[in-house]
Structure 1
């Protein structure tokens, strides 16, 4: 089938990762993928390697990329660009005449709605609010129980239109790398080789809870544990102000020498470098990085934002703490850092659950079931 994705922009985030994996799986099953987008946008960094690699992957897969200009500037310019983009996207949808339209950006859902086309949309964020540009899709994909509840309560989505499809990840995360490779990775990034490593993957910002993690380590770990651990933040700053924001926190908590910051890149080898992975996010629809860590065999602790209880059975294959509760996070961190057997148990069981429930194969098959239902309506 011919499938069109509508994506406002690609950033260094889980949305880009999810769309790439979905695209790869659909193309491998013989489907034709077109993506309508304004392009690739770097936030808070001039490092464009991620976007160059993403675009190269799309091109290698044979994806048809169609561009429009994202509306920016003063109100008049923004209005004119919005009209031009609306015209461009509408003409593309009519010309392509796809079997399935899948809108990944909520504020662009009004375009297939205006054209009176059936379409699917996915809930990729729990920060959107009802507005004139958002129109309820024919079928809506929720990626966690929490995102389903969000769409019903906040976006007022008709429950009968909602289908649950968990995000999936490549089973490459399950493939181990050698201890020599891990040690070399540590040396390459000046990460101590004699400390327990606590890791975080994501944008450095309040939304992702970076401050909660820093406070948990600085204020709620015992001095003995703190002296035997090191924090690695794999990600870019949301904006330049966040660099000072983080520096000030690290100075206040006396952690400047306990943290290594690595610009975002393929996280796979880092998950196996971490002894414990923490996702302290205040806002998620699923929390893809937690599943990546679990499948990589890394003991995982995460906040109870959306996706937590779909992924982790608390105390069985990982740990869940109350969002923003640095004291509880500190207590759980100390527990696993002190107990190697517990860390290993959570790592083994977490990997088993990730491989059972959150693979690309399952995501692709379940997404195709939604597409087939759409085409039958």
Structure 2
């Protein structure tokens, strides 16, 4: 079938990862993929490696990329750019005449709606609110129980139109990396080789809970534990102002020498390097990085934002703490950092859960089921 993805922009985030994995799986199944987008947007960094690699991967897969200009500038320029973009996107949707239109950006759903075309949308974020540009899709994909509840209660989505499809990831995350390569990675980034590593992957921002992690470690771990740990943040600052924001917090908690920040890149080797992975996010629809960590065999602790209870059975294959509660996170960290047997058990069972429930194979199969349903409506 011919499939069109409509995506406002690609950033260094789970959306880009999910779309790439979905694209790869669909093309490997023999489907034709087109992506309509404004492009690849870097935030607070000049490093464009991630976007170059993403675009290269799309080209290698044979994806047809179609571009429009995202509106920006003063109000008049935004209006003119919006009209132009609307014309371009509408024209492409008419010309391509795809079997399936899958809109990954909620504020662009009004375009296939205006064209009176059937379309699918996925709930990728729980920060959107009802507005004139959002129109209910023919079928809506929720990626967790929490995201389904959000669309029903906040976006007022008709329950009968919602389908559940968990995000999936490549089983490459389950493949072990040799210890000597991990040691080289630590040396490359000046990460201590004699400490327990607490890891985080994501944007450095309040939304992702970076401050909660710092507070938990700085204020709720014993001095003995703090002397034996190091923190690795794999991600970019949301904005340049977040550099001082984080620096000030680390200084206040006397953690400056205990933190290594690595610009966002393929996180796979880092998950295996971490002894404990933490996702303290205040906002998620699924929390893809938590599943990546679990499949990598890393003991995973996450906030109870959307996706948590789909992924983790608390105390069995990972741990969950109440969102915003740095003290509770500190207690969970103390448990796993002080008990290697517990840490390893959670890691092993977490990997089993991820491989059983959150693979690309399952995501592609379930997504295609929704596509087939749309076609026959």
Q: Same fold (TM over 0.5)?
A: yes
Aligned to 1:212: 212
Aligned to 1:238: 238
Aligned to 1:287: 287
Alignment of 1:28-47 (within 5 A): 28-47=28-47
Alignment of 1:252-291 (within 5 A): 252-291=252-291
| Distance apart, 1:253 and its partner CA | 0.2
Aligned to 2:150: 150
Report the secondary structure of 2:17's partner residue. Answer: helix
2: CA distance, partners of 1:11 / 1:110: 22
- The alignment covers a number of residue pairs equal to 377
Aligned to 1:116: 116
2: CA distance, partners of 1:141 / 1:271: 28
1: CA distance, partners of 2:190 / 2:227: 17
1: CA distance, partners of 2:83 / 2:280: 39
| Distance apart, 1:123 and its partner CA | 0.2
Q: Deviations over 1:276-315 (max 9, x none)?
A: 0000000000000000000000000000000000000000
Q: Does 1:365 align with 2:365?
A: yes
Structure 1 residue runs of 4+, over 3 Å off?
none
Aligned to 1:84: 84
2: CA distance, partners of 1:178 / 1:58: 29
Report the secondary structure of 2:53's partner residue. Answer: helix
Aligned to 2:348: 348
Alignment of 1:126-275 (within 5 A): 126-275=126-275
1: CA distance, partners of 2:106 / 2:141: 12
1: CA distance, partners of 2:3 / 2:44: 32
Aligned to 2:324: 324
Aligned to 1:97: 97
1: CA distance, partners of 2:142 / 2:43: 26
1: CA distance, partners of 2:64 / 2:9: 15
1: CA distance, partners of 2:368 / 2:46: 37
Unpaired runs of 5+ residues, structure 2, are: none
Aligned to 1:48: 48
Report the secondary structure of 2:334's partner residue. Answer: helix
| Distance apart, 1:138 and its partner CA | 0.1
1: CA distance, partners of 2:289 / 2:262: 16
CA RMSD of aligned residues (A): 0.3
2: CA distance, partners of 1:47 / 1:274: 24
Aligned to 2:313: 313
| Distance apart, 1:100 and its partner CA | 0.2
Q: Deviations over 1:45-95 (max 9, x none)?
A: 110000000000000000000000000010000000000000000000000
Q: Deviations over 1:15-42 (max 9, x none)?
A: 0000000000000000000000000000
2: CA distance, partners of 1:83 / 1:53: 31
1: CA distance, partners of 2:58 / 2:232: 30
Report the secondary structure of 2:133's partner residue. Answer: coil
1: CA distance, partners of 2:324 / 2:258: 21
| Distance apart, 1:246 and its partner CA | 0.2
| Distance apart, 1:44 and its partner CA | 1.0
